[in-house]
Amino acid sequence: MIDLLWLIPALPFAGFLVLILAGSRLPRIVVAVLGAGSVGFSAVVACLIGIEFISSPLVKTSFTRTVWTWMSFEGFSPSTSFCLDSLSLLMVLVVTVVGFLIHLYSVEFMADDDAYHRYFAYMNLFVTAMLVLVLADNLMLLYLGWEGVGLCSYLLIGFWYKDPVNARAAMKAFVMTRIGDTGMIVGLFLLYNSLGTLEIHELMVRAVRDWPVGSVMATVAAALLLCGALGKSAQLPLQTWLPDAMAGPTPVSALIHAATMVTAGVYLIARTHELFALAPAVQAAVAVIGVATLLVAGFSALAQQDLKRVLAYSTISQIGYMFLALGVGAWSAAMFHFAIHAFFKSLLFLGAGAIIMSTHHEQNMFRLGGLRTQLPVTFWTFLAGAASLAALPLITSGFYSKDAILWYAWSSEKGSVWLWLGGVAGALLTSIYTFRMVFLIFFGEARTKVYKRPGTAMLVPLIVLAVLSMVAGFIELPHTLGDVRLFSGYLGAVLPPVPIPPGQASLEGILGIVAAAVSVVGICLAYLLFLKVPQIADRAASTLAGRALHRLWLEGCGFDWLYQRLLVFPFVTIARINRSDFIDFFYQLAAFLAEGLHQGLSATQTGRTRHYAVGIGVGALIIIGMAVWL
Amino acid sequence: MASVPMEHGLLLAGILFGLGFLGVLVRRNIVFMLMCVEIMLNAAALAFVAAGSRWAQPDGQVMFIFILTVAAAEVAVGLALVLQFYRGFRTVDMDAADRMRG
């Protein structure tokens, strides 16, 4: 079974090929079966392989299968080979299972769309590229998948391309991530040039052997890889594309911009964690960027009116937590939060999609309200996701994953009180904005009509994801509370545990209680401010400082404004000046001459036969004259 | 029998050819243009005959018959075109057909 590893990415790719080539001629039901079915089969294969892999001794090492040699050029021969270890298996399972649930949801959500087959073709291509990314055993193949998901993200953000706003959002996402990718490809060149391989395992071995801790080469290489991760995972300072990426269909936001693609940066850093451990300065930067991002995005989420933009900022903020965990060396805590986040955030996006569909595309939270009774299933599942996002203590998965990150942010050798404080402040913000969203949408008076209720294909994924985001956290419990280590033990073969200095262990319980208290306080604050006495929030927002802060937060802390002034405006100005430069003069002269000749010759074509006859006669005379007298 | 000098025959042929060409250029009526083309063909044929008699070769007469055949075919096709032209434009003015201008 494990030899069929290549089948996992091949199935969605086959689906993509069929749909893009023949999709427009197939009936919609066939398109839906092909689109969702290929990913479903892939998920089944992934589960079977996963069971076999975990129960075999391979789980301690890894399993590599070369499918073919991609190219061979003077000793540089990256192969198309897939590597399965506990880290990539985790990613594969999340991508295929969550991916399948989202495909299933899309079958109903996109049912009225004209470009049904195009949607599923792009989605299948995305799943393929994401699987190639996580299964790649060399950085070259990983980069192929990396660019593949970027392309699909572009195509799907601009899915409704007839509206120029969507097309511009797609372009923005593409260009912003390209900035990071440029750094990443330079990093790959550097790694290959100095270490002579791109095969990840071998690369890490050679890096540890050749480079001492803190050496310049290791720092530069790690910083360049971090560039790529920042762009893809929408972290400061390249985060501004993600809120605009909400222009795409909502299931796309759930799959690409919440659960899978945006966490590719986290995966990249975890995958090359030996390299980052060699560069303490870069690793510290990862933690600081994570904290800064989670605070900026948390504040921004607090002021948004658009339901999907709240979720977008919340995604940026939660990936900030993952970066914080990576920065303090808690690799498996980062991956744990990734998995849990994939469940609850895609659940929240799918719930948002159900709300948007039921109310005829109403995304403004202030025009929604009181939907609790009208959409009961959506309400309860959304509540489960929101509780998990807000890290409601004890009963939700999000609590355990976030608690682990906060604990390591304090106690790890690379952690500090400041990182922990930033994380806790972020947790308070998270629970406030999450429950602000819940209270505005589901409580209070009804401000909109429900036109249509979600059907089975949409409710099943919601329920499955809701269950997962409640119970999935119980595979990893803190020392003070059951001490279950299934998850980090499972990842232990790839990701080393966090070294905790002695004397810190006693703090874990207290920190856990603080984190729990912060979450509950945040929920109570949200209840007070946005449901019970909204006058307080209104009065605070109407003061001068309140208005300024609200505007700043609404626009994502002004990064767009800054980039517009700092980069776009000078560039456009220079381009405009350069439009009529000296070199252009020569080209314009050539164009002018061609134009003149054209005018002259065109005038000889009068369309009159007799004029042509004159031409023939004169020509004949000239030739005869030349024959006679020359 | 006193033979006509070749120069006279060629001169006549040249004059006839020039007149025919002038006719093609100045007439706008498509039927007259066709007739002028016939005159030009015959001028060429006359030049062949004159040259054949000067060197006492039968080839000049052969070419004359050949040109006669070509002229017959040309008239058949040409008149058919004239008819079509008239049907299309409701006129025989050649300058009406200038849609290929520019």
Half-sphere exposure of A181 (CA within 13 A, CB side): 19
* Chain A contact present for B21, CB below 8 A: yes
pLDDT in tens, A116-125: 888 899 999 9
CB nearest to A613's CB, from B25, B99, B102: B25
Q: Does pLDDT of A445 surpass 60? A: yes
Separation of CA A484 from chain center: 30
- Rounded distance, CA A191 to CA A212, Å? 15
Distances (CA, A) of B36 to A613, B9, B19, B63: 12, 19, 8, 20
* Chain B contact present for A613, CB below 8 A: yes
Asked if A316 and A297 count as a contact pair (C-beta separation under 8 A), the reply is yes
For residues A147-158, b (16+ Cβ closer than 10 Å) or e, as one string? bbbbebbbbbbb
Average the pLDDT over B39-56 and give the result.
92
Question: The whole model's pTM is what?
Answer: 0.78
* Chain A contact present for B8, CB below 8 A: no
Share of chain A above pLDDT 90, in %: 10
Q: Does pLDDT of A190 surpass 60? A: yes
- Rounded distance, CA A430 to CA A294, Å? 9
pLDDT score, position A593: 94
Contact check, Cβ <8 Å, A607/B28: no
Residues 6+ apart with CB under 8 A from B80: none
* Chain A contact present for B2, CB below 8 A: no
Average the pLDDT over A301-326 and give the result.
89
Q: How confident is the model at residue B73 (pLDDT cuts 50, 70, 90)?
A: very high
Q: Does pLDDT of A3 surpass 60? A: yes
Cβ-Cβ contacts under 8 Å, A613 against chain B: 21, 24-25
Q: How confident is the model at residue B1 (pLDDT cuts 50, 70, 90)?
A: very low
Half-sphere exposure of A132 (CA within 13 A, CB side): 25
Residue predicted with more confidence, A60 or A337: A337
Cβ-Cβ contacts under 8 Å, B101 against chain A: 605-607
Rounded to 5 degrees, what angle do the CA atoms A195, A200, A205 make? 60
- Give the end-to-end CA distance of chain A in Å, rounded to a whole number: 90
Question: Which H or E element spans position A493?
Answer: none
Asked if A230 and A101 count as a contact pair (C-beta separation under 8 A), the reply is no
Q: Tokens representing A440?
A: 């505005």
CB nearest to A614's CB, from B25, B28, B97: B25
Asked if B24 and A613 count as a contact pair (C-beta separation under 8 A), the reply is yes
Smallest Cα–Cα separation from A436: which of A347, A304, A556, A255? A304
Q: Indicate the DSSP class of residue A64.
A: E
Q: Find the DSSP H helices in A528-568.
A: 534-542, 544-554, 559-563
pLDDT score, position A389: 87
Q: Tokens representing A292?
A: 């800064």
Q: How confident is the model at residue A361 (pLDDT cuts 50, 70, 90)?
A: confident
Q: Tokens representing B20?
A: 């025919």
Cβ-Cβ contacts under 8 Å, B95 against chain A: 608, 610
Residue in the structure block whose two tokens are 């030899």: A3
* Chain A contact present for B97, CB below 8 A: yes
Contact check, Cβ <8 Å, A605/B102: yes
- Rounded distance, CA A281 to CA A616, Å? 84
Q: What is the 3-state secondary structure (H, E, C) of chain B?
A: CCCCCHHHHHHHHHHHHHHHHHHHHHCCEHHHHHHHHHHHHHHHHHHHHHHHHHCCCCHHHHHHHHHHHHHHHHHHHHHHHHHHHHHHHCCCEHHHCCCCCC
Contact check, Cβ <8 Å, B25/A607: no
- Among chain A residues, the shortest Cα distance to B100 is held by A607
Asked, as a colleague might, if the bond just before A237 is cis with ω within 30 of 0, I would say yes
Smallest Cα–Cα separation from A488: which of A87, A201, A95, A204? A87
pLDDT in tens, A82-93: 888 888 888 898
Asked if A441 and A307 count as a contact pair (C-beta separation under 8 A), the reply is yes
Contact check, Cβ <8 Å, A614/B97: no
* Chain A contact present for B32, CB below 8 A: no
Cβ neighbours around B55 below 10 Å, total:
9
pLDDT in tens, A16-44: 999 888 878 888 888 888 888 999 999 99
* Chain B contact present for A602, CB below 8 A: yes
Cβ-Cβ contacts under 8 Å, A617 against chain B: 21, 25
Distances (CA, A) of A518 to A409, A427, A452, A509, A616: 16, 7, 38, 14, 97
pLDDT score, position B2: 59
Average the pLDDT over A604-628 and give the result.
90
For residue A64, report the phi and psi dihedrals to the nearest 5 degrees: -120, 135
- DSSP bridge pairs for A136: A82
Residues 6+ apart with CB under 8 A from A237: A230, A559
Q: How confident is the model at residue A440 (pLDDT cuts 50, 70, 90)?
A: confident
* Chain A contact present for B14, CB below 8 A: no
Residue in the structure block whose two tokens are 């911009």: A257
- Rounded distance, CA A527 to CA A355, Å? 21
Q: Indicate the DSSP class of residue A73.
A: B
- Among chain A residues, the shortest Cα distance to B33 is held by A610
Average the pLDDT over A233-243 and give the result.
85
CB nearest to A605's CB, from B25, B95, B101: B101
Residues 6+ apart with CB under 8 A from A483: A477
Burial of residue B43, with CB atoms counted within 10 A of its CB: 0-12 exposed, 13-18 middle, 19 or more buried: buried
Provide the sign of the torsion angle of the four alpha carbons A223, A228, A234, A240, taken in this order.
positive
Greatest CA separation for chain A = 117
Q: What is the ipTM of this complex?
A: 0.86
Provide the sign of the torsion angle of the four alpha carbons A125, A348, A240, A330, taken in this order.
negative
Residue predicted with more confidence, A542 or B16: B16
Q: Which has the minimum average pLDDT: A193-197, A308-312, A577-581?
A: A577-581
Contact check, Cβ <8 Å, B101/A617: no
Mean pLDDT computed over every residue of chain A:
85
Q: Indicate the DSSP class of residue A461.
A: H
Q: Where are the beta strands (DSSP E) in A424-517?
A: none
Contact check, Cβ <8 Å, B101/A606: yes
* Chain B contact present for A604, CB below 8 A: no
pLDDT score, position A537: 73
CB nearest to A602's CB, from B28, B99, B102: B102
Ranked by mean pLDDT, the top range of A272-281, A355-364, B39-48 is: B39-48
Contact check, Cβ <8 Å, A607/B98: yes
Average the pLDDT over A425-446 and give the result.
86
Q: Angle between the A544-554 and A280-303 helix axes, to the nearest 10 degrees?
A: 120
Asked if A293 and A162 count as a contact pair (C-beta separation under 8 A), the reply is no
Contact check, Cβ <8 Å, B94/A609: yes
pLDDT score, position A626: 95
Q: Does pLDDT of A485 surpass 80? A: no
- Rounded distance, CA A172 to CA A565, Å? 16
- DSSP bridge pairs for A64: A83
